[in-house]
Structure 1
Amino acid sequence: MKPNVVLYKTIPADQLARLQAAFNLTRFDSITDANRQEVIAALRHAQGLIGASHPIGNELLDAAPGLRAISTISVGYDQFSVPELTRRGITLMHTPGVLTETTADTIFTLILTSARRAVELAELVKRGEWRRSIGEEYYGTDVNGKTIGILGMGRIGYAVAKRAHLGFGMPVMYYNDKVNEQAESLLHARRATLDQVLAEADFVCVVLPLLPETEKLIGYAEISKMKPGAILINGSRGKIINEPELIRALQDGVIRGAGLDVFEQEPLPATSPLLALPNVVALPHIGSATHETRHAMVACAVDNLIAALAGDVTQNCVNPGALRNVAATGNEFKGM
Structure 2
Amino acid sequence: MFLRKDCAECALLLFLIGIVSCYNMSRPTVFIANPSVPKIAFDILQDVANVVSVSGYDRESILKEVSGADAIFWASGLKLDKEILDAAGPQLRVVATMSVGYNHIDLAELKSRGIPFSNTPRVLDNAVADMALYLALGASRRCFEGRQQIEKGTWKKYFDTQWLLGRDISGSTVGIIGLGNIGQAIARRLKGFDVARILYTGHREKAEGKELGAEFVNLDTLNRESDFVFLAAPLTNETRNICNEEFFSKMKKTGIIVNIGRGELIDQAALIKALKTGEIFAAGLDVMTPEPLNTDSELLTLPNVVLTPHIGSATVDTRNAMAELTAKNILRGLAGEEMFTPIQL
Q: TM-score normalized by structure 1?
A: 0.90
Is 1:15 matched with 2:38? no
User: Which residues in structure 2 correspond to 1:159-308 (within 5 Å)?
Assistant: 159-184=185-210, 186-308=211-333
CA–CA distance in 2 between the matches of 1:247 and 1:239?
14
CA–CA distance in 2 between the matches of 1:198 and 1:18?
46
Which residue in the other structure is 1:57 paired with?
81
- The alignment partner of 1:71 has SS state of strand
Is 1:98 matched with 2:123? yes
CA–CA distance in 2 between the matches of 1:165 and 1:33?
43
CA displacement at 1:37 relative to structure 2:
4.6
Distance 1:154 1:134, change over 3 A: farther
Q: 2:94–2:116: 8 Å Cα contact kept in structure 1?
A: yes
The equivalent position to 1:138 in structure 2, one of 144, 164, 169, is 164
Distance 1:38 1:147, change over 3 A: same
Distance 1:318 1:65, change over 3 A: same
- The alignment partner of 1:168 has SS state of coil
CA–CA distance in 2 between the matches of 1:183 and 1:3?
44
CA–CA distance in 2 between the matches of 1:37 and 1:76?
22
CA displacement at 1:317 relative to structure 2:
0.8
CA–CA distance in 1 between the matches of 2:43 and 2:33?
15
The equivalent position to 2:70 in structure 1, one of 24, 42, 47, is 47
Distance 1:23 1:181, change over 3 A: same
Aligned-partner residue type, residue 278 of structure 1: P
CA–CA distance in 2 between the matches of 1:218 and 1:290?
28
- The alignment partner of 2:221 has SS state of helix
Which residue in the other structure is 2:8 paired with?
none
Distance 1:14 1:153, change over 3 A: closer
CA–CA distance in 1 between the matches of 2:149 and 2:280?
23
CA–CA distance in 2 between the matches of 1:167 and 1:248?
30
CA–CA distance in 2 between the matches of 1:82 and 1:134?
56
Q: 2:131–2:312: 8 Å Cα contact kept in structure 1?
A: yes
- The alignment partner of 1:167 has SS state of coil
Structure 2 runs not aligned, ≥5 long: 1-25
CA displacement at 1:250 relative to structure 2:
1.4
Q: 1:174–1:197: 8 Å Cα contact kept in structure 2?
A: yes
Q: 2:62–2:84: 8 Å Cα contact kept in structure 1?
A: no
Distance 1:189 1:306, change over 3 A: same
Q: 1:165–1:171: 8 Å Cα contact kept in structure 2?
A: no
CA deviations over 1:45-93 (Å, ceiling 9, x no partner): 2210003122111111112211111111111111111122111111111
Is 1:124 matched with 2:124? no
- The alignment partner of 2:105 has SS state of coil
CA–CA distance in 2 between the matches of 1:276 and 1:160?
28
Aligned-partner residue type, residue 341 of structure 2: N
CA–CA distance in 1 between the matches of 2:112 and 2:174?
40
Which residue in the other structure is 1:312 paired with?
337
Distance 1:150 1:237, change over 3 A: same
Aligned-partner residue type, residue 144 of structure 2: V
The equivalent position to 2:92 in structure 1, one of 55, 63, 67, is 67
Which residue in the other structure is 2:50 paired with?
24
- The alignment partner of 2:120 has SS state of coil
- The alignment partner of 1:21 has SS state of coil
Tell me which moved more, 23-32 or 304-313.
23-32
Aligned-partner residue type, residue 71 of structure 2: G
Which residue in the other structure is 1:325 paired with?
none
CA displacement at 1:134 relative to structure 2:
5.0
Alignment size in residue pairs: 316
Distance 1:77 1:266, change over 3 A: same
Distance 1:37 1:166, change over 3 A: closer
Instruction: Name the % identity.
Output: 35
CA deviations over 1:200-235 (Å, ceiling 9, x no partner): 000011110001111111101011111111011111
Q: 1:153–1:175: 8 Å Cα contact kept in structure 2?
A: yes
Tell me which moved more, 236-245 or 56-65.
56-65
Which residue in the other structure is 2:14 paired with?
none
